[in-house]
Amino acid sequence: MSVEDVNEYNGDSIEVLEGLDPVRTRPGMYTDTSSPNHLGMEVIDNSVDEALAGFADRIDVTLYEDQSLEVADNGRGMPVDIHSKEKVPAVELIFGRLHAGGKFSNRNYAFSGGLHGVGVSVVNALSSKLEAEIKRDGQVYKIGYSDGNKTEDLHVIGEVGRRNTGTKIRFWPNPKYFDRSTFRVSSMISLLKAKAVLCPGLTINFYNALTKEKYSWCFKGDLKEYLVNTLGDMKYVPSPEPYYGHMELENSVVDWAIVWMNEGASTISESYVNLIPTPLGGTHVNGLRQAVNGALKEFCDIHNLLPKNMSLTIDDTWDDASFVLSVKIPEPQFSGQTKEKLSSRECASLVAGAVKDAFTLWLNANIEAANAIVEICVARANARTKSSKTVNRKKAVGGPTLPGKLRDCTSTDPSRGELFLVEGESAGGSANTARDREYQAVLPLRGKILNTWDKEATRIFESNCIQDISVAIGLDPESDDLSGLRYDKICILADADSDGLHIGTLICALFVKHFPRLIEEGHLYVAMPPLYRVVCGTESHYVLDDEERDDLIRKLNAKKRGNAKIEVTRFKGLGEMNPPQLKETTMDPATRRLVQLTLTEDNEEKVFSLMDMLLANKRAADRRDWLAENGYLADIED
């Protein structure tokens, strides 16, 4: 950008993205752009939601030779009547407007995965062509789009019996938005089969016109049969029948099946929320892990099964487990529109409460199988103990004295240890109370740390704060030797406001420039504390940013009854959160959000280039140009 361009930065420079333009401008924010598969699953999930609600029992999926995909169901059919407020057919809002849908409240669907209101509108935006046929009220309607723009008004093309209802959508993904222009058929087949398993009585048919292959699934059984079929001839305990359970709670359903693998066999990990696969897990899986670990530890203590001085960690009881977990909850919250990870905090306690007592009873009623499971867990613990080193938590052996402000953990196993670098003395006190002292340590940092990007490694210790960090983690700057690392996870914990982001950036810069090996080996994380607390009646929610807040308020307004008032509290800093709040939202592995930072051959050049532009003393002119080009993206706070 030239100086002349910068000087002409005025009101006309501000771009306003309307309709579906935000999706086309930043498609990666709304879907997985590696292939069109996620678009297909968005449409399929809408049909599955109809089945979950009891209005559909058949879904037909067809992949055509031109790589278009058609999904048809016999549900209620999308609404075609005129929207009372917008004065257009409701189906036009569904396809043409972001955040328009029938799933923000529980009036239309008790359980669903499409709560963002962006699913099929994103499909429309990223497709070169989309056609929809809707059978409803005895008539067949059709509407058409091209590149997200309506080309064919909603109109009647035929008549059917009034009980003959449903929706059929065919779309042609636009290749320019995807790394791969064709569908991953094998992945789609496995997901369709899983959805049929998770929704007993639902028939799903898939036809691949490219290969002329046909598949049809309809299951009447439960998760244990699915897990057994998936495991095949592999050896596991309990056998031949996995430990499984089903529990219906108020507004929620939890189903699970678990086995432990023998002889180091590979494991299977599948989790679903309202039939949406969550390959990255989330709070529901964390709740299952906690329940299983707690029940096994109690069983071992009661029956005195553990060797002296041995304690089973979650990894010991879980690393050899194969499981399938399905939860159905109202209004799930996911980490992003791709829905790969559940972030609804209350789901951890929901699943843990459903599973732990039931598993405890099962263990004591099936002693032989329980003992076999314990043997596998103890073998895993022995292997961990033999392979791991120990850390003297009282002092840094052979080196400088540990920082006086460091509140260390008690475990001497560094593979379990977590160190939180906490912004501020006040927040450090709250974190010290909120932590699990067995494996979590806290080091409070006072104020903004030194910008070390242009500093030589020999000079960064001019800052006492940075020296404390180096001594606490047990590593010297620019060393490739991680043998002295005292914790497996180094977690940056700063306020969720702009000052906190600044401090977090400076800490990240320290590790990128002077401790890159630590990041390359996957030891650096950023904790994501909430910025807002939203209360509606007896419900309390924590949200990360303005977008999450607005999305939550929209859903609460849609479902609230009576005179319940929605109150929003903005946390000015971590110090404003009491220890239980900090524990629930930021430090408890079952409910926190922790983002791992990565530094690989693929992104290293880009990371260093961006950091250098933002932090190097000699790059002031480049920063000015960058701000002129991107400043409109900033949120201005009062």
Catalytic residue set: 423, 495, 497, 499
Contact 263, 235 (CB under 8 A): yes
Contact 592, 287 (CB under 8 A): no
At 179, is the secondary structure helix, strand, or coil?
coil
The sign of the CA dihedral 628, 631, 637, 638 is positive
Contact 327, 344 (CB under 8 A): no
CA distance 251 to 447: 45
Contacting residues for 278 by C-beta, under 8 A, at least 6 apart: 271, 272, 284, 285, 334, 339, 340, 341, 342
CA distance 125 to 348: 35
Residues comprising the chain, all counted: 638
- The values of phi and psi at residue 369, to 5°, are -65, -40
Instruction: Read off the DSSP letter of residue 336.
Output: S
Q: In what order do the strands lie in the sheet with 166-173?
A: 149-159, 139-146, 127-136, 166-173, 69-73, 58-63, 203-208, 213-217
Which H/E stretch holds residue 267? none
CA distance 471 to 454: 21
CA distance 17 to 24: 10
Q: Which residue from 539, 542, 561, 550 is spatially nearest to 105, judged by alpha carbons?
A: 561
- The values of phi and psi at residue 39, to 5°, are -60, -45
- Joined together, the tokens standing for residue 178 give 């995807």
The sign of the CA dihedral 136, 140, 141, 146 is positive
Contact 14, 632 (CB under 8 A): yes
The sign of the CA dihedral 420, 314, 335, 604 is positive
